[in-house]
Structure 1
Amino acid sequence: MAVEDEEYEALPMGVGTGVHMLAGAMAGISEHAVMFPVDSIKTRMQVFSTSPAAVYSSLGNAVARISSTEGLRTLWRGVASVIVGAGPAHALYFGTYELVKETTGGNRPGHHVAATALAGACATISHDALMNPFDVIKQRMQLYGSSYRNVAQCARSVYQNEGLIAFYVSYPTTLMMTVPFTAVQFSTYESMKKFLNPEGTYSPLTHVTAGGIAGGVAAAVTTPLDVAKTLLQTRGTSDDIRIRNARGMVDAFKIIWQRNGIWGFARGISPRVLTYMPSNALCWLCYEFFKVVIGDASRGSSHATVAVP
């Protein structure tokens, strides 16, 4: 059979998981680095602050005020944390996803929403266990008036003042958010990809479109849980005793409801959706691209090894 007839996802024997993990790591770093400034604004809009300088009415208002008072470079503060964590976390994420999807029959012809949703949920549990501490550090550094200037300083301060629990107090809430987020995202992405590209060929436009739609839908649906997660991850910086003593998702939900009512659960929805649509599109584009490039290189190496004189 000619090499050209192989499907781009048909990876060589023995290298499939490694390719998916390496492609996922590259995709994760690309995604988080590019969209980090919008994520910083989202974090600030979700935090309950008593300082008028840290209250923003909209995405545009936040950009204007931050650029005029702090400088746009402020929006990149904490990016090192997600770059350090995103590589290994996304490698584990995509490696788990592809392994579980293959095991549960998600790669067979046709639509297999349950298999892809399960694979996405398993991938999320493993990813968040590794990424949660880095996310806590990132959000502490993103806050208005943050005194942290590097990842190590922030990590030491949080550990010394609040203990190890501070890095994982939001983990149950994070899972409550990211498991449905990933289930919606992956099932939407796979369905859209098969609808837009039934031949299953490598198509950057398909990956961008399907990834963007999937990210936007999943982000909007899970915003209430993201608000609760942000409250828990930044509680140690608050001067509000109730927020500082919040122990989990139930406490966070009560505080949000009492402070802002139903609208409190939509805090930061615009920058969140605007973050996840392009970042998810970029993530899938990079993932599929690196999967092709690394897979082709692996095929070339494999063919060279078994070549008959």
Structure 2
Amino acid sequence: MEEEDLYETLGDATSMSTHMLAGAAAGIMEHSVMYPVDCVKTRMQCLMPDPKADYRSVADALKKIVRHEGIRNTVRGFSAMVTGAGPAHAMYFACYEKGKEVLSGGKQGNHLAHGLAGCTATLLHDAVMNPADVVKQRMQMYGSPYQSTWLCFREILRKEGMGAFYRSYTTQLTMNIPFQSIQFMVYECMQDLLNGERNYDPKSHIIAGATAGSVAACITMPLDVCKTLLNTQEHCTRTHLTYISGMASAFKTVYEFCGITGFFRGLSARVIYQMPSTAISWSVYEFFKYVIHQRKQQMHEDRYLRPNMHISAATASTTATR
């Protein structure tokens, strides 16, 4: 029982850095593996896509991008994602673990506490990730004029100011707070069903993560469409508005262009992206927690058990000699 608790909380003064390292690794791995699908999702959410970028499905989109634009265009903006995902997920998981411990009192089954901890973690995550997300999505758009991540960042800053990187921040929070809260609650609930003792079990982490990601993605889909619109500003050349700003304005614009169905453009891409990415994120995170737990156990044995074994052996030898 003591070992299970140590694995779940990872203990003492080093726990914060432990969670941050595991979280950074999980975030980078999650976004890296699924990045081409994320590119497709961004394009499929466009209100009025170019005829050459009118995709019927995720597979059709990937096929057309590779055929007409080259495979490199499926990973445009990748460096912006890596720059943001590492520190954002480091703070995200560390804050979640600390919040969960404080709010639940270290007890399992308090899913309200898990949801509230997820809300707090999201505030830190999005503050770091939002500027990276803006650059990433501008780079992912069909016919994007930006040649590199740095040039994209510089052009946005020069033409639109620093506020452009946080134009979608309130919408991002409006989407991500329920998304992350639902994700954490579903994940912890699935863990209660599949892995009640909270041992390291890759299969349960993958299943719980995939389920949590897909459920949260479906519920928050309309907000994700509005976030993409605010980040890319792709409609501005087709309307009288200079910039679209604010969630209410984004909702109005999506409805005017596409109706109710517009809020679910790219749903299949979002679910296909979110299921494996959340599964990867949780399984990598739990793996790093497990590895660190094992190393701590080994250090504990080296520090306390082996010296005692030597002392016992020496005592036995002295007794035998007498």
Partner of 1:232: 230
Residue by residue over 1:42-96, the C-alpha shift from the partner in whole angstroms, topping out at 9 and shown as x without a partner, is 0001112353223223223312321221122211111111111111100000000
Partner of 1:145: 143
Q: Which has the larger radius of gyration?
A: 2
Partner of 1:9: 8
- Asked if 2 retains the 8 angstrom alpha-carbon contact of 1:243 and 1:255, the reply is no
The verdict on how the C-alpha distance between 1:244 and 1:273 changes in structure 2, with shifts beyond 3 A counting, is farther
The verdict on how the C-alpha distance between 1:29 and 1:242 changes in structure 2, with shifts beyond 3 A counting, is farther
Partner of 2:116: 118
Partner of 2:64: 65
1:38 aligns with 2:37: yes
Residue by residue over 1:89-122, the C-alpha shift from the partner in whole angstroms, topping out at 9 and shown as x without a partner, is 000000000000000016303x111100000111
Task: Write the mapping of 1:1-309 to structure 2, written as runs, cut at 5 A.
Answer: 7-49=6-48, 51-105=50-104, 107-109=106-108, 111-235=109-233, 238-242=236-240, 244-301=242-299, 304=302, 308=307
The verdict on how the C-alpha distance between 1:90 and 1:5 changes in structure 2, with shifts beyond 3 A counting, is closer
Give, in whole Å, the separation in 2 of the partners of 1:10 and 1:60.
Answer: 41
Give, in whole Å, the separation in 2 of the partners of 1:291 and 1:242.
Answer: 52
The verdict on how the C-alpha distance between 1:304 and 1:79 changes in structure 2, with shifts beyond 3 A counting, is same
5+ residue gaps, structure 1, are none
- Asked if 1 retains the 8 angstrom alpha-carbon contact of 2:4 and 2:199, the reply is no
Q: Percent identity?
A: 46
TM-score computed with the length of structure 1 as normaliser: 0.93
Code of the aligned partner of 1:98? E
Deviates more, 1:206-215 or 1:76-85: 76-85
The verdict on how the C-alpha distance between 1:234 and 1:304 changes in structure 2, with shifts beyond 3 A counting, is same
Return the offset for 1:212: 0.2
Task: Give the secondary-structure state (helix, strand or coil) at the position aligned to 1:104.
Answer: helix
Give, in whole Å, the separation in 1 of the partners of 2:241 and 2:264.
Answer: 18
TM-align CA RMSD: 2.0
Return the offset for 1:302: 5.2
The verdict on how the C-alpha distance between 1:10 and 1:120 changes in structure 2, with shifts beyond 3 A counting, is closer
Deviates more, 1:261-270 or 1:293-302: 293-302
Task: Give the secondary-structure state (helix, strand or coil) at the position aligned to 2:104.
Answer: coil
Return the offset for 1:5: 6.9
Give, in whole Å, the separation in 1 of the partners of 2:70 and 2:235.
Answer: 22
Residue by residue over 1:209-260, the C-alpha shift from the partner in whole angstroms, topping out at 9 and shown as x without a partner, is 0000000000111110000000000016842235642111111100111111
Return the offset for 1:152: 1.1
Return the offset for 1:271: 0.6
5+ residue gaps, structure 2, are 309-322
Tell me how many residue pairs correspond in the alignment: 307
- Asked if 2 retains the 8 angstrom alpha-carbon contact of 1:106 and 1:116, the reply is no
- Asked if 2 retains the 8 angstrom alpha-carbon contact of 1:12 and 1:299, the reply is no
- Asked if 2 retains the 8 angstrom alpha-carbon contact of 1:45 and 1:55, the reply is yes
Return the offset for 1:304: 4.3
Give, in whole Å, the separation in 2 of the partners of 1:197 and 1:226.
Answer: 31
The verdict on how the C-alpha distance between 1:242 and 1:94 changes in structure 2, with shifts beyond 3 A counting, is farther
- Asked if 2 retains the 8 angstrom alpha-carbon contact of 1:93 and 1:123, the reply is yes
